[in-house]
Amino acid sequence: MVVSRITPFLAFLGDLEILPSASAGGVQVFGLHGPPRRAKHAYHTLAAALAANEIVVREAAAAREPVRVRIMNQGDSTVFLPAGERLPGAQRRWVLKTSLLLGAQETVKVPAAWIEAERESPPAGGAPRLSAPRDASGALFARGGRVVLVEIFDRKDTLRRFWPLVLNTLQAVLEHAPTADGPALASGDAAAWLQKAGGARVELLSSPSLGQSLAVRGDDFEGVCLLVDGEPAHVEFRAVASATEPLFSAGREVPGGSRLDSRVEGNRYLPAAGDALGRPE
């Protein structure tokens, strides 16, 4: 029996082309270029769905409810909500900690661990005025020679569409990112960082919506990845002072290249039992 070789979940990070950097406000941004991912779902943004009155967000009455928010997609189109998206609520605005892909006419129950309350006032200073890198589907941000944020989407037009959201996330990350006074990050060092991140520890989460959600933990970062039909739709890594605690408590931790039981309750687009998740070489 011939078994196809399978690369780890995040091995594609090492194949990304690092584009020349730009800088503003002491922050560098490198464009990340890779082949477009297969997009089998044409989707709307949250803003477009809200404008069409197709999305309803409801909060749980009790603060201790395990499910704090329900998102109802009343439209006939798929809606993509990347990590960092702000959800309008009756009492406060919520921020998603991982990405969701809502199917048409689907209601998603978002666990309390997957959201956090938005800050009442934005961090002082604002985000650096950086433009979306051209011909890039992702961006790597660095300050003082240290990577602070990585955002990767399925294709370059998705990055441009969500660039304001990316800058909002960068603003929040810079407030809490460890300080660094080193020289500017070289493109070779950025590529080496991504190569190493491709072997980070991965935790499979029980996703409430379409696709598979992964929590990712490295030595100096934590993040999330949404896989749809086995392809990464969104990856977000944030710098942390230490990564001793998991981003989410649900699911089970596995090495980046190991096999997983495909019978995971609550997930879709899972391979047959015995297959490995990942990207065929």
Q: Which of 43, 88, 62 is nearest to 209 (CA)?
A: 43
Q: Whole-number mean pLDDT of the chain?
A: 77
The share of the chain scoring above pLDDT 70, in percent, equals: 73
- Give the tens place of pLDDT for each residue, 261-277: 333 322 222 332 222 33
Residue 145 backbone class (left: φ over 0; alpha: ψ -120 to 50; beta: rest): left
Tell me if 99 sits within 8 A of 224, measured CB to CB: yes
- Give the tens place of pLDDT for each residue, 226-251: 988 878 899 999 998 654 444 544 44
Q: Is residue 1 part of a domain?
A: no
The reported pLDDT for the residue numbered 43 is 83
pLDDT at 105 over 60: yes
Residues 6+ apart with CB under 8 A from 176: none
Q: What angle do CA 215, 129, 187 make, to 5 degrees?
A: 60
Tell me if 164 sits within 8 A of 84, measured CB to CB: no
Tell me if 225 sits within 8 A of 234, measured CB to CB: yes
The share of the chain scoring above pLDDT 90, in percent, equals: 35
Q: Which domain holds residue 48?
A: 43-117
Q: Is residue 20 part of a domain?
A: yes
From CA 135, how far away is CA 129, in angstroms rounded?
Answer: 19
Same-domain status, 35 and 49: no
Residue type, 189: D
Residue given tokens 């194949």 in the structure block: 15
The reported pLDDT for the residue numbered 125 is 60
Q: Which of 197, 141, 231 is nearest to 151 (CA)?
A: 141
Same-domain status, 134 and 268: yes
Same-domain status, 223 and 199: yes
pLDDT at 127 over 80: no
Identify the weakest region by mean pLDDT among 3-17, 181-195, 255-269.
Answer: 255-269
Same-domain status, 135 and 184: yes
pTM, 2 dp: 0.81
- What is the pLDDT confidence band of residue 37, given thresholds at 50, 70 and 90? low
Instruction: Tally the domains of the chain.
Output: 2
H or E segment and range at residue 173: helix 163-176
- Give the tens place of pLDDT for each residue, 157-177: 999 999 999 999 999 888 877
Same-domain status, 180 and 48: no
pLDDT at 155 over 60: yes
